[in-house]
Amino acid sequence: MKFALFAVAFFITLSLQRTLQHRTDQTDFGAPLQFKKDGTFQISIFEDLHFGENAWDSWGPQQDLNSVKVINQVLDAEKGPGLVVLNGDLITGENTYLENSTAYVDQIVGPLVERGLSWASTYGNHDHSFNVTGATILDRERRWPNARTMRMVFGDDAGVSNYYLAVYDPACASPDVCAPELLLWFFDSRGGWHYQQKDAEGNKIGQPDWVDVSVVNWFTQTNAELTNKYQKTIPSLAFVHIPTNASLALQEAGVDGHRQPGIDDDAPLAQQAQGWCPDGRDDGTCAYGGQDVPFMQAVTTTPGLIAVFSGHDHGDTWCYKWDGVLPGMTVAGNGLNLCFGQHTGYGGYGSWERGSRQVLVTLDKLKEEQAVETWIRLESGNVVGHVSLNATYGQDRYPKTPNTKTSCPTCNYTVVTPIPGTKRKRALSDPVDL
């Protein structure tokens, strides 16, 4: 059984490599993203795939095959989104070897490449580990056609997946003469471990888990430059793997199943800078360091930013409109929507039914009210949590989201456990140090 699963995974990768031409030109990002002729642009978000867990056991490769099945089923049901977003934790880096860690990318993007779909990634805490990092994953992604993941901010503390993509009107002949109708911002919230680094005692070195201030500065400056260039506010969406402290504050204020439909099982959720001290220590003595405050200030003061989409907490799938100052917070919300996706992969903790958050942007609603529609497509084919992120979201009533679970006898379900000495969570009950 174990050999058969290895053989299937190897065959999938080998077949893709033989039938599809790898791309080596790093400057070729393909045609610009555009709305369809009917004025719509749909995004499918796949969260927390966690490929590569326990490759030496039968259940590890089986989970990866199940995850590919979820991707295929969602894409078949949604019939060709304009962009797929892989929103962090593509790989469970703790379980990978240096020589094979990025090969899992080929399995992940196989269904996208076969359909000719474009995709863009953010990297999560499990994508940054001793044997894998966002930089090595990016190199692997860029071998394939239609990969739009890139790196626009450099520096030791910046992370990797910080960039933006522009989406244009279908009538736009060339981006050189048109203003974008929509901007998509991608951020690396880092976390995990520094790549191939150990301290004097031979221990892996932890990496901060928040959007670095250098990235925040790049974001605010770049957005201002784009606004000045086109002489207008361009509506935008953002993607980051680890949610900010605002999501925790909203959760503690109370998630209403009818007004913020979705699962709310990860409570309290794990946010950026959890377990860190304000002075930068990570020794288990502090609950939260506040290092994500500059990022929260940036997203709440960016005109036209409609929503920020996160993952990381597999048991949370709601959207919440952030208005005003919340208890324990110093940053005031401006109506920005903070949304979780749906745990997509069979890797990682939890047995909630797998699925993918969908985001539908239409030119008319974007221009009239800066609103978007969003829903979750489950592996079963069912659609739950269909809402409109408009001016009255948070007041409107919607059906509650059923908390359905996946039955998979061949899968190994792990539980969320605290990292000893800290209040942070990890997705593996017993990560292996390779």
What would the pLDDT profile of 147-160 be if each residue is shown by its tens digit? 999 999 999 999 99
Q: Give the sheet arrangement for strand 163-168, strand by strand.
A: 33-34, 163-168, 182-187, 236-240, 305-310, 333-340, 319-324
The closest of 70, 13, 16, 12 to 44, measured between CA atoms, is 70
pLDDT band of residue 191 (cuts 50, 70, 90) is very high
pLDDT the model gives residue 29 = 62
Element (H, E) at 324: strand 319-324
Q: Tens digit of pLDDT for each residue in 315-371?
A: 999 999 999 999 999 999 999 999 999 999 999 999 999 999 999 999 999 999 999
pLDDT band of residue 174 (cuts 50, 70, 90) is confident
Is residue 286 predicted with pLDDT exceeding 80?
yes
Element (H, E) at 319: strand 319-324
8 Å CB contact between 185 and 238: yes
Provide the token pair at 427: 């997705």
Is residue 247 predicted with pLDDT exceeding 90?
yes
* Intra-chain end-to-end CA distance of the chain, in Å: 24
8 Å CB contact between 290 and 277: no
What is the pLDDT averaged over residues 55-82? 95
Percent of residues, the chain, with pLDDT higher than 90 = 82
C-alpha span between 68 and 131 (Å, rounded): 23
What is the pLDDT averaged over residues 194-219? 95
Neighbours of 251 (CB within 10 A): 22
SS3 301: coil
What is the pLDDT averaged over residues 90-101? 93
pLDDT band of residue 406 (cuts 50, 70, 90) is confident
What is the pLDDT averaged over residues 282-292? 94
Task: List the single range of 27-36, 224-233, 348-357 with lowest mean pLDDT.
Answer: 27-36
| 284-292 CB contacts, 8 Å cutoff, 24+ apart | 284/420, 284/421, 284/422, 284/423, 287/423, 288/245, 290/245, 291/208, 291/210, 292/210, 292/211, 292/244, 292/245
C-alpha span between 92 and 61 (Å, rounded): 12
What is the pLDDT averaged over residues 406-425? 51
User: C-alpha dihedral over 300, 306, 310, 316, to 10 degrees?
Assistant: 100
Provide the token pair at 168: 């244009």
Between 330 and 22, the higher pLDDT residue: 330
pLDDT the model gives residue 244 = 98
Between 414 and 132, the higher pLDDT residue: 132
Q: Which of 9-13, 14-18, 213-217 has the largest mean confidence?
A: 213-217
SS3 56: coil
What is the pLDDT averaged over residues 387-404? 97
Percent of residues, the chain, with pLDDT higher than 70 = 87
Is residue 375 predicted with pLDDT exceeding 50?
yes
Is residue 72 predicted with pLDDT exceeding 80?
yes
C-alpha span between 311 and 241 (Å, rounded): 5
pLDDT band of residue 423 (cuts 50, 70, 90) is very low
pLDDT the model gives residue 412 = 62
SS3 72: helix
C-alpha span between 184 and 313 (Å, rounded): 22
Is residue 25 predicted with pLDDT exceeding 70?
no
What is the pLDDT averaged over residues 235-247? 98
Q: Give pTM, 2 decimals.
A: 0.90
Q: Which domains does the chain have, with CATH numbers?
A: 2-426 (3.60.21.10)
What is the pLDDT averaged over residues 75-87? 96
Provide the token pair at 310: 């996160």
Report residue 352: phi and psi, to 5°: -60, 145
179-190 exposure pattern, b = at least 16 Cβ within 10 A, e = fewer? ebbbbbbbbbbb
